[in-house]
Chain A
Amino acid sequence: MSTYPKTVTDKRLFLIDKTIAAHGYRRDALLEILHVAHNIYGYLDKKILLHISEMLRVPPSQVYGVATFYNYFKLKKPGSHAITFCLGTACYVKGAEEILSAVEREFNVKRGETSADGKISVFVTRCVGACAMAPNVIIDDEMIGKATKETVLEKIKSLL
């Protein structure tokens, strides 16, 4: 069913196909399937979206529309380290913006983007729900509560 050459078949796509079959090819399972694909790849690019569109027989425009509507989905492959800043109200009030700007300056990378060397990506999220420990920064999978400019910069440097 897929249009791209069989020689480059990506085994991960089979996992997506299995999920689609498990949902009985129901079109209203689109969001569920995007979640599974995002879990497998870590992002959703054009190739993956087109594949889902074909398998589900949903127009590419609709798949793209849904994937871009929801903030949770990343549409590009992220860098090797993900630095996620919570910009929920509590974190904002407690100075998350200042820490974020400092990281942007120090590593020359903008929010939502990946540094030129592909080493770090900076993401912004709206509330991780740990507001009592604000401001929160998530570096890879580790949560840093009551973060300061110094602790965050140091932690990132130790990763590089």
Chain B
Amino acid sequence: MKPEEIQKIAEIEHDMRMAYKYRINVCCSSGCIPFGAQKLLKAFEEAVKELGVQNVCKVARTGCVGTCSVAPVVLIDPGNHLYQNVRPEDAKKIVQEHVVNGRILEEFVYKNEAYFSKQYRLILRNAGKIDPLRIEDYISVGGYSALAKALTQMTPEQVIYEVTVSGLRGRGGAGFPTGQKWNFVAKSTAKPKYVVANLDEGDPGVFANRTLAEADPHAIIEGMTIAAYAVGAEKGYIYIRSEYPLAIQTLRKAIEQAKSYGLIGENILGSTFNFDIDLRLGAGAFVAGEETAILSSIEGLRATPRPRPPYPAVSGLWGKPTLINNVETLANVPLIILNGGAWFSKIGTPKCTGTKCFSLTGKVRNPGLIEVPMGITLKEVVYEIGGGVPEGRKFKAVLVGGPSGGCLPESLLSLPIDYESLTQAGAIMGSGGIVVIDDESCIVDTARFFIDFCMDESCGKCVPCRAGLPKVREILDKIMEGGGAVDDLKVLEELCYLIKDVSLCGLGQTAPNPVLTTINYFKQEYLSHILDKKCPAGKCNIKKMEVVKE
């Protein structure tokens, strides 16, 4: 295929899209399918036929719209009308009223303006709008034109320059400048080189990467291919969790389609550049998302991290230079190439450009998947987008950054979301989980839950993480059972800092964060367990100490 042909497909597809007056997008992502999305898709297809409007109304399967709490949802264009909690038996009524009579059915309409108005949908721009299983849909909205631009009009150095100028930083959590990373790999002279797209989203409570893969798989493939061109790699792997069957299926199909169109494979778009992509499945190991552990896992070994240096940019997969990027990072790349790094650098804050996807869950009224510009405050996310905690309950804390993130109190809600501010507060950006807890949850129990998780997922390679975390858990257990002493808090803190300082990889270095932040911000709650033998949330089973009267 030639670059002009992409343009041609885009035009044809665009005309085909325009031929329909209405487009009913039925969300068929992992969030909606358990609640009958596929039956709903069928019901709409039948309803359109039955009412004889198949020539003016297109029914399409799409990825996640983001409002997972009111699943299943349907998005009708033009006008972006979002219908919530739609059942298959409602399909006919909706088509009759909306398409035939041109009347919007108010009783189904999602009425939460704030949920969308505060968001900036850049990476998720196509989510809910295109059919993820059709590469033509992606091409029709400008897909693969960035790849064509990079291959025909830019040198690898220019591509890296644009990414550097954009200020894009790794979305996997650590926030390393992407352009710099690409530069390291490009400068390595050893061959062959590899590109690994990290989709091992192991954090409980996080589903942003999955949603991206299910809604817009070609954005990942295009970004990855541009990255490969920039660093000079010929082989790429997408490493994905096996717990995401739909995302795996969608990506498999997308890779197949891209191959058949000549967008990956040999002599891409008539150039001399070759690049091939394979999927690799994880198998339920949280640590496998760590930059060096992912390499071991792709090599078929236990996913244990390796010491750095040497960095993967020098010695990665099978000892060769390897570029590892999170899929969300890669999905930004086509936009940067098309619009220029300078354009991208204006979004977000000067130090932290672009947007970030978050899975907003826990005790909020509107849980779901959101994308916000960097620098937005936690308060805006929790209260304006999330709608605050449900009635009758009181906000207690917000957990940012997954099991190795931090618990932040109400007083820190005005904190802007960027890498530095979160790290300073003791949390991390992580993979983008925001879980809100209310006064029903015990803060000590929450900290123990995360320690439990990290303990389970510790690979066992280095001692501080393997032996230290069980010790932390032991102390937390003691406090929860009512046997804690005030000195225990000091021991806990010391132990946590030790684990942070001397662990080999990111898991151990961040695992103590929930304990440290809860002791820092919710000391009173620890003290009431220890001194008053009371759990304010009424969650812990504190043993009543028998007072023996003599």
Residues of A at the B interface (CB closer than 8 Å) are: 27-32, 34-35, 62, 65-66, 69-73, 87-94, 125-134, 142-143, 145
Contact = CB atoms under 8 A, between A and B. Distances in A.
Given A69-B303, A90-B362, A130 B68 contact: yes
B281 A89 contact: no
Contacts of B356: none
B300 A126 contact: no
A93 B283 contact: no
Contacts of B233: none
B344 interface: no
Contacts of A133: 31, 34-35, 68-69, 71
B242 interface: yes
A93 B31 CA distance: 19
B343 interface: no
B433 A129 contact: no
A88 B362 contact: no
Contacts of A73: 283-284
Contacts of A27: 300
A132 B205 contact: no
Contact of A93 (B286, B302, B363, B403): B363
DSSP majority for the A interface? Answer: helix
B305 to A, nearest CB: 13
A89 B399 contact: yes
Nearest to B446: A93
Contacts, number: 134
Interface string B431-457: 001010100010000100110010000
B198 interface: no
Given A72-B284, A90-B205, A129 B297 contact: no
B280 A66 contact: no
Interface string B360-375: 0111000111000000
Nearest to A38: B283
B433 A128 contact: no
Contacts of A91: 204
B205 A88 contact: yes
Contact of A131 (B205, B299, B446): B205
A27 B69 CA distance: 44
B105 to A, nearest CB: 23
For the complex of A and B, list the 10 residue pairs with the smallest distance between their C-beta atoms, beginning with the closest: A88-B204, A132-B68, A70-B283, A72-B284, A143-B34, A89-B205, A71-B284, A129-B207, A30-B300, A127-B204
A132 B449 contact: no
B439 to A, nearest CB: 12
A145 B362 contact: no
B243 interface: yes
B301 interface: yes
B303 A89 contact: no
A132 B300 contact: no
A34 B303 CA distance: 15
Contacts of A72: 242-243, 282-284
Contacts of A70: 282-285, 303
B283 A126 contact: no
A34 B281 CA distance: 11
Interface in B21-52: 30-31, 34-35
B84 interface: no
Contact of B435 (A65, A93, A125, A143): A93
